[in-house]
Amino acid sequence: MAVSGNQKRQRISLQSPFAHIFEEQQRDTEFYEERVRKALGSLPPVKFAFAYGSGAVPQMGTYKETSMLDLILVLEDSFQWHQENMKRNPSHYAFIPKAVGPKLTSSVQTCKVGVPVLYNTLVPFQSGLMKYGCVAFADLLEDLQSWKYLFLAGRLHKPVRMFIPSNSLNCDSSAIENFHADLAEMNQALTDNLEAALSAAKISQLSYYGDIRFAFSAENPRKVSNIVSANLLSFRNLYNDALTSLLRDHLLRVDSSSGNGSCVYVKQDNHCPSLLGLLQRIPSHFVKRCYFNHPCSSQDICPDKLYVEEARQMISQMGTRTFQDILKKTFQTTVRNSSIGQAFKGLFSAGPLRSCVYLVKKWQKGIRF
């Protein structure tokens, strides 16, 4: 990332829970961070960035040297950034963005069709490829705080490699709040006992419910298990504070009868007050969506006039099983709408040719497993 020498990056190191690969991943840390640093150094300055995917975070069954590097760049001024990047890296842009210029390109990025993110993809980098998505800082915060799209928030459900200049650390609190709410949501969606690996898998699955890439076999069907297998300890570290808070507030409880000494089990309390307590930790916007996804909800109520506390009360009285179904449906519709809209936006940002090439690569990746 193009940052001044006096700007220090906050780095989130990733570790593996498996002893036999721990040392290898420790050695890989410098490789991943150096790779991301070089990529960001070729681009104009950003507010902060994070890298995700197998090119930046260990995943089982992937090779770090050949994996595509995925980046999200958070921008203060999208127009100025695209204007500078088109001068510096014109080859990163497809024909349409270059033809219309930075003003319209930044407008397409921030428009609410799909997700307010614009990707440059299939960019040659080192011996492989990279793609990077550009998002305005305000749009990132909106997704973290409301789960309106579950696109960027979904990526931050899982371990990522964060690169934050010291003057941008105010965004980190919103990410933590999102993690905290997400753990409550994830546990609310589960039944019976929770094993650590199962909890991490459920967290990873949240942002893939309804994703059209899986419907068209354009994604590795083992993606979730590959992420969890290599990063279980990172998930534990990421959600430890949230889990502690839920246990302290008696919203979850340790089930000592289930533990076998190797894993920690947690059992959710299905009583109405506990369900209501968990709902208090879920974004208000998402709670309203859950309510209106219930077939028996009043369709005569305008969403803007529905008090969120009223919605929480009504949902908590529906019962655990019913609410689990509502949650899954809400996740599916939210993620599906975002992924469909983003696919259409990709026709602008990448152009028809790059979009087809990218889709074929994803499809080959999906059918290989």
**Domains of the chain: total:** 2
Asked whether the beta carbons of 2 and 45 are under 8 A apart, the reply is: yes
- DSSP-assigned letters across all residues of 177-206: HHHHHHHHHHHHT--SEE-HHHHHHHHHHH
366 belongs to a structural domain: no
259 belongs to a structural domain: yes
pLDDT grade for 10, boundaries at 50, 70 and 90:
very low
Share of the chain above pLDDT 70, in %: 66
pLDDT at 218 over 50: yes
365 belongs to a structural domain: no
pLDDT grade for 226, boundaries at 50, 70 and 90:
confident
Last residue of a domain, one of 104, 134, 168: 168
State in Å, rounded, how far the first CA of the chain is from the last one. 35
Asked whether the beta carbons of 76 and 45 are under 8 A apart, the reply is: no
Listed in sequence order, the residues at least 6 apart from 90 whose beta carbon sits closer than 8 Å to its beta carbon are 98
pLDDT at 191 over 90: no
333 belongs to a structural domain: yes
pLDDT at 122 over 70: yes
352 belongs to a structural domain: no
Mean pLDDT of all residues in the chain? 76
Name the residue with higher pLDDT: 201 or 49. Answer: 49
pLDDT at 7 over 50: no
Name the residue with higher pLDDT: 102 or 302. Answer: 102
pLDDT at 256 over 60: no
Last residue of a domain, one of 133, 168, 203: 168
The pLDDT value given to residue 343: 86
pLDDT grade for 202, boundaries at 50, 70 and 90:
confident
The pLDDT value given to residue 297: 61
pLDDT at 181 over 60: yes
Residues 136 and 224 in one domain: no
pLDDT at 8 over 50: no
Out of 83-87, 178-182, 218-222, 318-322, the most confident range is 83-87
Residues 162 and 213 in one domain: no
Residues 28 and 147 in one domain: yes
Asked whether the beta carbons of 75 and 46 are under 8 A apart, the reply is: yes
Last residue of a domain, one of 138, 168, 198: 168
Name the residue with higher pLDDT: 199 or 331. Answer: 331
Asked whether the beta carbons of 46 and 74 are under 8 A apart, the reply is: yes
Question: What pTM, to 2 d.p., does this model score?
Answer: 0.81
Rounded-to-integer distance, Cα 186 and Cα 205, Å: 10
Mean pLDDT, residues 8-13: 39
The pLDDT value given to residue 25: 55
pLDDT grade for 184, boundaries at 50, 70 and 90:
low
Residues 138 and 206 in one domain: no
Residues 76 and 145 in one domain: yes
Residues 42 and 133 in one domain: yes
- pLDDT tens, 296-306? 666 556 556 56
> Edge to edge, what strands does the sheet with 117-125 contain?
117-125, 128-136, 69-75, 48-52, 161-163
> Edge to edge, what strands does the sheet with 266-268 contain?
193-194, 266-268, 252-254
Asked whether the beta carbons of 251 and 194 are under 8 A apart, the reply is: no
Residues 105 and 254 in one domain: no
Residues 313 and 181 in one domain: yes
Residues 190 and 294 in one domain: yes
Mean pLDDT, residues 240-269: 65
The pLDDT value given to residue 19: 45
CATH number at residue 85: 3.30.460
Does an H or E element contain 267, and which?
strand 266-268
The pLDDT value given to residue 186: 63
pLDDT at 357 over 80: no
Name the residue with higher pLDDT: 16 or 156. Answer: 156
Nearest CA-CA partner of 308 in 146, 118, 153: 146
Beta strand 161-163 with 128-136 is unpaired
pLDDT grade for 9, boundaries at 50, 70 and 90:
very low
In terms of residue numbers, what domain contains 304? Answer: 176-338
295 belongs to a structural domain: yes
Residues 163 and 221 in one domain: no
Name the residue with higher pLDDT: 134 or 60. Answer: 134
Mean pLDDT, residues 3-17: 40
221 belongs to a structural domain: yes
Share of the chain above pLDDT 90, in %: 22
Residues 302 and 325 in one domain: yes
Tokens at residue 77, please?
A: 């001024």
Residues 186 and 331 in one domain: yes
Amino acid identity at 156: L
191 belongs to a structural domain: yes
